[in-house]
Amino acid sequence: MDKKYRLYIVKSNKHIYAYIIDDETKKVLTSSSTISQEVKNQGKSFRSCLTAKTVGKNIGLKLKNLGIEKIVFDRGTNKYHGQVRALANGTREEGIIF
């Protein structure tokens, strides 16, 4: 059986966060958000659909660097709409399957 990793999304009033969690060891492997340096350097700092897509692409690149291709998408209590969908699409554009 393949090891499952979970992409967990958290939204606050100003920012959006994406965490990759290993459920077996209960540890966060990597994360990306609107406050992370990689996203801020692209001139985006507050949450919007465009920024969420950038965060998704950034987390997708980090997953590829870790050698992870398949994940489980966990949107929490958020609807699959707007920023959550943009983040998911950005991650999919980097070749991550969920």
Residue 35 maps to which CATH number?
3.30.420.100
**Are the beta carbons of 44 and 61 closer than 8 angstroms?**
no
**Residue 24 domain flag:** yes
| Nearest-5° Cα angle at 79, 5 to 38 | 55
What confidence tens digit (pLDDT) does each residue in 31-43 have?
999 999 888 888 7
- Predicted TM-score (pTM) above 0.75: yes
Domain residues for 28? 5-93
Q: Buried b / exposed e across 19-38, counting CB within 10 Å, b at 16+? A: bbbeeeeeeeebbbbbebee
Averaged pLDDT score across all residues of the chain: 92
Predicted local distance difference test score (pLDDT) of residue 1:
52
Domain annotation covers residue 79: yes
Closest CA to 86 of 36, 59, 50: 50
Question: How many structural domains comprise the chain?
Answer: 1
Q: What residues does 5 pair with on adjacent strands? A: 22
45 falls within a domain? yes
